[in-house]
Amino acid sequence: MTYPAARWTLELVRSLSETYCYVTERSILVSVFTLPAPLTATVAGAAHPTRATFDVVNPATGEIFAAAPDASVADVDAAARVAHDAFPSWRSDPAARRVALHAAADALDAARDEIVPILTAEQGKTLAQSAREVGVAAAYLRYYADMELERQLLRDDADAVVQIVHRPLGPAAIIAPWNFPLIIAVAKIAPALSAGNTVVLKPSPYTPLSSLKVGEVLRGVLPPGVFNVLSGGNEAGAALTAHPLIRKISFTGSTATGKAIAAAAAADLKRTTLELGGNDAAIILDDADPAVVATGIFARAFHNTGQVCVAPKRVYVPEKLRAAVVEAFADLARDARIGDGTDPATQYGPLNNRSQRDRVAELVSDAVSQGATLAAGGSVIEGSGFFYQPTILTDISDGVRIVDEEQFGPALPVIGYRDVEDALARANATHFGLGGSVWGTDPERAAAVVERVEAGMTWVNTHSATTFDQPFAGIKWSGIGIENGRWALEGFTEMQVIHQAR
């Protein structure tokens, strides 16, 4: 493994001028950035003070490096009220919305160099991945700026003219997780605002700063009250979803929280879109080239250090190819460069937080205690930060936690199967239904198999490939509602029928 080159002991140094510097143990300056301290919540287009703050930890060092506003129930109420007040004028002027959303995209692009180090410091991903994340967020705003749900003429005859229009819902609560804090939030914010809704965003308490920074950047770009950002814990999220002025909840996160939000929304029949957990299977067919498929699956399973909802989380391989595939995966795992996201040599950063790292470690230990073999990795990387070795497990089957549960980290079980029917039965024996893939040299055969995978998004010879215009949606316990394309706009509207008698 090549950890040592990339795994310098990094230490966070904070000067009086609020400049944050990373230095190596040899005191070589690696990167310097300045946080506009302290970042504040945005309510009604202005900084909104909160009484309390909470600590934000850099996962590459394990050290607290910033404080974020801890929104109270009163702060949540203030944000929901201004979003409600801003709604009538925002919904009534589509042309102004278009201009404002393009301006918001430009503002995000212009602020990219400020946002990128903040995102890497709080999330752990590499600077290149953070830059890409900011770019994708800006592109989402542009994509939705010009999209509209046209008025539809359903009937025009001797009896009646019947039209269908789409109305915005009102203030929307957007609640995001910590793995892609900006892409996930803006994939919701862009269609919400484009359709004429106003927004209150609550990022994860593990990654609040990049969202607070976006709130700050967009002050003065979007009309006051249209886009509000509050950081806080799960209680702030619960207060937001229960608020009577919130009419739509768009949530991405764990299935457990999604169920709690669905229950909270039910009392008021608030509309919900829930993008939840996954446990995607990748099925390798017996005509596959082991080295080729291992490379393709590894790239997607370990991207973002395995913290991707729609990543391969279980690999099913025919017994006759198992040894070759496991060996190819193990080589890739051993060669992976793990380290601080600010080090240009790093390919894979730390887990985002201690409890997630500990969960992955626990699932791997549990598997080993049940007879699984470690083909690569299997240990916490000692030192500061929440690092874990890229891990490949084999001699493992269904019924072991790391196969049955979502690991959300850099550990991949490789499971041998008898025949394709056996593989499909195992792949589908789960409550999850986010994604799935089939890999082989005959694409027609693979496509026929993938159609039988019970998941909202399925791929042949790739996995987790998404585009703005391709629906993003899970089935079963992986979600309700659709993101991307015009489906996301529809999800932020309700249909009205206008039937005009002749």
Q: How many CB atoms lie within 10 A of CB 170?
A: 22
Q: Does 253 bind ligand NAD (CB under 6 A)?
A: yes
Catalytic residue among 122, 133, 309, 483: 309
Q: Does 252 bind ligand NAD (CB under 6 A)?
A: yes
Candidate list 60, 414, 434, 446; residue touching ligand NAD; CB under 6 A: 434
Nearer to ligand NAD, 416 or 485 (CB): 485
Q: Does 124 bind ligand NAD (CB under 6 A)?
A: no
Candidate list 278, 341, 409, 435; residue touching ligand NAD; CB under 6 A: 278
List helix spans (H) across 413-484: 420-428, 443-450
Distance, in Å, from the CA atom of 387 to the CA atom of 470, rounded to the nearest integer, reads 33
- In the residue annotation, 309 being an active-site residue is answered as yes
- Residue 304: left (phi > 0), alpha (psi -120 to 50), or beta? left
Catalytic residue among 275, 362, 490, 494: 275
DSSP 244-264: TT--EEEEES-HHHHHHHHHH
Candidate list 254, 370, 397, 466; residue touching ligand NAD; CB under 6 A: 254
Map residue 376 onto helix, strand or coil.
Answer: strand
Which segment (92-100, 149-157, 246-254, 363-371) binds ligand NAD by CB under 6 A?
A: 246-254
Q: Does 428 bind ligand NAD (CB under 6 A)?
A: no
CB of 330 to ligand NAD, least distance (A): 25
CB of 99 to ligand NAD, least distance (A): 30
Candidate list 168, 277, 377, 413; residue touching ligand NAD; CB under 6 A: 277
Distance, in Å, from the CA atom of 19 to the CA atom of 14, rounded to the nearest integer, reads 6
Candidate list 205, 339, 349, 481; residue touching ligand NAD; CB under 6 A: 205
> Do the beta carbons of residue 249 and residue 273 sit within 8 Å?
yes
Q: How many residues bind ligand NAD (CB under 6 A)?
A: 30
Q: Does 257 bind ligand NAD (CB under 6 A)?
A: yes
Buried b / exposed e over 15-40, threshold 16 CB at 10 Å, is eeeeebebbeeeeeeebebebeeebb
- In the residue annotation, 275 being an active-site residue is answered as yes
What is the rounded (10 degree) CA torsion for 216, 174, 255, 452? -110
Q: Does 163 bind ligand NAD (CB under 6 A)?
A: no
Order of all β-strands in the sheet with 435-439 = 373-376, 391-394, 411-417, 312-318, 280-284, 435-439, 457-460
Nearer to ligand NAD, 132 or 337 (CB): 132
> Do the beta carbons of residue 307 and residue 179 sit within 8 Å?
yes
Q: Does 406 bind ligand NAD (CB under 6 A)?
A: yes
Candidate list 31, 120, 179, 198; residue touching ligand NAD; CB under 6 A: 179
Number of residue whose CB is nearest ligand NAD: 237
Bridge partner residues of 57 (DSSP)? 64
> Do the beta carbons of residue 417 and residue 378 sit within 8 Å?
no
Candidate list 61, 198, 204, 347; residue touching ligand NAD; CB under 6 A: 204
Residue in this structure with the two tokens 């500061």, named with its chain if needed: 384
Residue 47 C-beta-side C-alpha neighbours within 13 Å: 9
Which segment (12-20, 128-136, 219-227, 232-240) binds ligand NAD by CB under 6 A?
A: 232-240
Candidate list 45, 168, 177, 491; residue touching ligand NAD; CB under 6 A: 177
- Collect all residues with Cβ–Cβ distance below 8 Å to 338 and sequence separation of at least 6: 1, 3, 6, 7, 346, 347, 348, 349, 350, 381, 387, 389, 390
Residue in this structure with the two tokens 């706009």, named with its chain if needed: 489
CB of 102 to ligand NAD, least distance (A): 26
Q: Does 260 bind ligand NAD (CB under 6 A)?
A: yes
Candidate list 124, 215, 225, 237; residue touching ligand NAD; CB under 6 A: 237
Residues of the shown chain interacting with ligand NAD in the complex, contacts defined by CB under 6 A: 175-179, 184, 202, 204-205, 234, 237-238, 241, 252-254, 257, 260-261, 275-278, 309, 406, 408, 434, 474, 478-479
Catalogue the active-site residues.
275, 309
